Each structure stands twice: as C-alpha cells, then as structure tokens.
Amino acid sequence: MSELVARDRRHVWHPYAGPVASPLFAVESAQGVRLRLEDGRELIDGMSSWWSAIHGYRHPHIEEAVKQQLERLPHVMFGGLTHEPAVRLCERLAAQSPGGLERVFLSDSGSVAVEIALKLALQVWQARGRPQRRRILALRGGYHGDTFGAMAVCDPVTGMHGLFAGTLASQLFAERPARRFDEACEAADFADLRRLFAEHADELAAVIVEPIVQGAGGMWFYSPEYLREIRRLCDDSGVLLVADEIATGFGRTGRYFACEHAGIAPDVLCVGKALTGGTLTLAATLASAEVCRVIGEGQPGVFMHGPTFMGNALACAAANASLDLLDSGAWSEQVAGIERGLEAGLAACRGLPAVADVRVLGAIGVVELREPVDMERVAPAFVAQGIWIRPFGRLVYTMPPYGIDSDDLRRLTDGIRTVVASLD
C-alpha cells in the first residue's frame, strides 16, 4: 500500500464507499487519455472522469484560458456583480440550446442544477396561482443526482437512494421506456405514461427525463419516439418538460444534445459534467422565455436560489474554452469513430456466459452482466489490463474521451472483454 493511499484511508471519504475506500489507486498525473498512477503504471481512461473530461486531460486551450483568467479574476460574488466569462458562456449556451432557451442560471454541480430546475417548475405554478401543482413525474430507471430534490426523482428502486425513501418528497414514476433506441414504439408503450398524466393532471408540475440515455439508473438507451410522446403530453396539459442532459450533453450520444435525436426542445434544460471539459466544477440550468416571464411577473418576482460560487470566473473561462473546442466540429466525427470502435470491440462480449446484453450509442458502450460485479476483484483486474473502468451493479460501461485513437480504443475494449470473460 502506498503512503498516499494509507493517508487517504485515515481521513478521506470517497463517493459511494464506506469510511475506508477499497480498492483505491493513487493518481500522480494525467495527460490526454491516460492516467499515470503513483507506482508508474499508465491507464487508458475509459470513464472520462464520470463523463466530464471529453477532451482528455490537460488540453492546452483550456489550461491557457484558466491561466489567463486566474491572472485577472478567479472569483467574485454573482449577487449584483457580473463578468465577461459568465456573460459570454450564458450567451453561448442559450444560442446552442435546443429550442433556443432564453436564460441561464449557473451553479456548481449537476445535482444542484436539477434542484434549480425543480424549484423553477414549482415556482412557475406558485406564480400562476396553482400551488397544488407540485408533483414531479419521472421515469423508472432514471438518475438525477444525490441531493434531496434530485433523489426524490431518481428511480426509488435502482436509483441508489432507497435508504432515504421515507424522508423524500413523494413523486410519480412511469415505467421505464421498453423500446431500444433503434426500435419503433407501439401505442401500448405509452399507456402507463398517459395514465399518469390523466390521473394526476391537477397536481402535475413537471416531467423530468434523461433524454434518450438513462445513466446511473441503468445505462439504458431508449426510443426517441417515447421522448416525443412526453413532449406532446406536456404540451397538451401545460406541464413543464425538464431535460436532464448533465450526462448526455455536448456530443456524448452523437448529437450535441440528446434531445436532438427526437427533434424536441424542453422548457428547462440541465447541463454539467462535460461543460468545462472536466477541468472545474460547473453546471447550468436553462429556462424558456415563458418560464422566465411567469416567474418575473409573479410573486415574489425573483427566483429563490443563489449559490455562493455561482458563476465562478475560472470555471466559466474553462467552459468557454471547452465550447471553443466543440465549435470546431471535430467532436462529431470523433464520436462516430468511437461508436464504430465500441461496436466492433465489444461485439465478442455478446457471446460470453456472464453477459446479459451489450449496447452502444455514440461514445457510450455498455456490457450488462447477469450478476453484480465484485469491485474488490474487478477493479484491480481492469487496472492490470492497463485501463480505467469503474463498473457499478451489473454494468460494465465506458465513455472514453473524444480524442482517443483507434489503438487505445481497441486496448480499452480488449481489456473489458478479457476481464468480463474471466467472470464466467
């Protein structure tokens, strides 16, 4: 055990881990698509640091933008003050958003972006004089974050938060979309969704979905027709549609935003993770002109939220630099190449006894197992293959940085296949 890991185990608490995390690997540095461990081993990063490092590590354009901003203004309170990096970022996000959402509320993390979206929806109905419309409809198999409002709209069974069920707000859940991304829906596929809209019309404030790709709740890719039906039902009933694109935004699914697969626009959009290219923590919640109008004209006339580090200038500078890289358009071809590589590289996993399903969409590859993984065994096995993969439950999945080359992608999929085959 390294000295750093020993020190970590005395005082550090890691995500979704006991007080002492195990297994644990010490990272010394990162460059491009590689992590260098303290013991000198190099790993190809198959996780993009939980979807965020889409350009790889230490991209010079992002680093230079942060350095220049650090010399001018690292941070200033956003209450009553503004600055160029934040204004420019909000202008760009609004312009690039599906449907041209008008206004951007900046925050620190994806979970908080979801909290803001839910509060916006509730405040809209308060302003309209219909406070009884305060229930949120979500999908089973969904995951939206770890704070209390976000936990309440995660799947109560697979969303990792069942421990807190008795303390969370009671929300509504439609059955997980049954049809895969490339399958057509039938009328029966919408029955549960339509029933919930009909039965709860007078209390429903908003629907929240992860468009097309459900992330940590099951890594499921569903039909765009289902998303179009949600948009139609929301339009017919006046219910707000919140799109949680924290994991899917900025090209990961092959479209800039996953909503584009269905050709729809939400009333509220949440983004995060890849927003800064994985450099600094930042998230944003975008709202339509109508949401802004209703809240501005209602009581109290202001939105009741305000993070201390809202609009952090360093993070906004990093985000603008990341958007610069996306604006070049190279990401589209890169993601298409990754999709082809993942399809070819993971295909052999389909015949393994331990495997229940294999699915790929954009720069996301998933090997679903029949039984949950043993992290004590599996994590070191991936490291021994020279790759960094962090499974959960029955899911072994990868979402590599966009710039990964074909050789490294092949090493990544070969390593996944080797480890999964050892589970037979």
Annotated catalytic residues are: 16, 143, 244, 273
Q: How far apart are CA 59 and CA 57, in angstroms?
A: 6
Angle at 268 between CA 263 and CA 273, to 5 degrees: 90
Enumerate helices (H) and strands (E) in the chain, giving the number of each.
13, 16
Amino acid at 396: V
Which structure tokens are listed for 332? 């589209």
Residues 6+ apart with CB under 8 A from 412: 44, 46, 345, 387, 389, 398, 400, 404
Q: How far apart are CA 406 and CA 22, in angstroms?
A: 32
Question: In a 10 Å sphere around its CB, with 0-12 CB exposed, 13-18 middle and 19+ buried, how is residue 379 labelled?
Answer: buried
DSSP string, 107-159: ESSHHHHHHHHHHHHHHHHHHTT-TT--EEEEETT----SSHHHHHTS-TTTS
Q: DSSP 3-state assignment of 43?
A: strand
- Helices 224-237 and 191-199, axial angle in degrees (round to 10): 20
**CA contacts within 13 A on the Cβ side of 192:** 13
- Counting every residue, how long is the chain? 424
Residues 6+ apart with CB under 8 A from 30: 36, 45, 57, 58
416 closest CA partner among 359, 335, 360, 342: 342
331 closest CA partner among 363, 366, 369: 363
Which structure tokens are listed for 159? 């969303």
Q: End-to-end alpha-carbon separation of the chain, Å?
A: 29
